[in-house]
Amino acid sequence: MKALLRLLPLVTVMAIGLPAQAEPVHFRLSGSEGNGLLPGNGVGGAGFANAKDSSATGGLINPRSLYYEPESQRLVFDFAFQDLSAGGLFRPAVHGGIHLHGPTPPSQPGANAGVLYILNTTAAVQPGLKLQRGPLREGVTAGRLTGSVVIQKKDLKALLDGQTYLNIHSKRFPNGEIRGSLLSLTP
């Protein structure tokens, strides 16, 4: 017991000297009609699906499968989709057909924005990307994408503030058939 008490100050000093580890920030996907990836988000127009044009859906494999790891600066994802329209997934050139877009204006969460990260490509095209299952081939109407991507500092605020969205492009709707905003589960 005395030996244990002698070690206590040493253990306390070691614990205090350890850097604090930031907790992951978990997200949900929110389409225009609820949770998940759904048609009808954003500003419509040529090349965009809306709820009456498509029955495609998608979402997270489990409620905790979309999160940002502060230490590694990675956004980790595991999601699936189904029922894309005829022609399936659209992969123009090497750019994939599944993207993280943003930032949307703070007052317009459904607005369209440019591509920040290509999620359905190779590490040779986007070095910060690591896929566990490899890119999905063009034309699939259902699939699952699992991996992570390094988030650059310039994009972190938009991610944490709910100004980004996941968009899946199809041949019928090259500007996006289904999408969902990344909304933090952290209060």
pTM above 0.95, yes or no: no
Q: What's the rounded Cα separation, in Å, for the pair 71 and 75?
A: 11
Residue 153: what are its φ and ψ, rounded to 5°?
A: -55, -35
Torsion, CA 166, CA 167, CA 168, CA 169, rounded to 10: -160
pLDDT digits (tens, 9 = 90+) for 38-91: 997 656 667 788 878 899 999 999 999 999 999 999 999 999 999 999 899 998
Q: How many residues does the chain have?
A: 187
> What does the pLDDT profile of the chain (187 residues) look like in tens digits?
555 445 444 444 444 454 566 899 999 999 877 789 999 765 666 778 887 889 999 999 999 999 999 999 999 999 999 999 989 999 876 678 999 999 999 888 778 899 999 999 999 999 999 999 889 999 999 999 999 999 999 999 999 999 999 999 999 999 899 999 999 997 6
**Tokens at residue 65, please?**
């499968």
For residue 5, what pLDDT is reported?
46
Q: How buried is residue 114: exposed, middle or buried, by Cβ count under 10 Å (0-12/13-18/19+)?
A: exposed
For residue 121, what pLDDT is reported?
92
Mean pLDDT of the chain: 86
With helix as H, strand as E and coil as C, how does the chain read? CHHHHHHHHHHHHHHHHCCCCCCCEEEEEEECCEECEECCCCCCCCCECCCCCCCCEEEECCCCCEEEECCCCEEEEEEEEECCCCCCECCCCCCCCEEEECCCCCCCCCCCCCEEEECCCCCCCCCCEEECCCCCCCCCCCEEEEEEEECCHHHHHHHHCCCCEEEECECCCCCECEEEEEEECCC
Q: Which residues are CB-contacts of 91 (< 8 A; sequence separation ≥ 6)?
A: 97, 120, 135, 137, 138
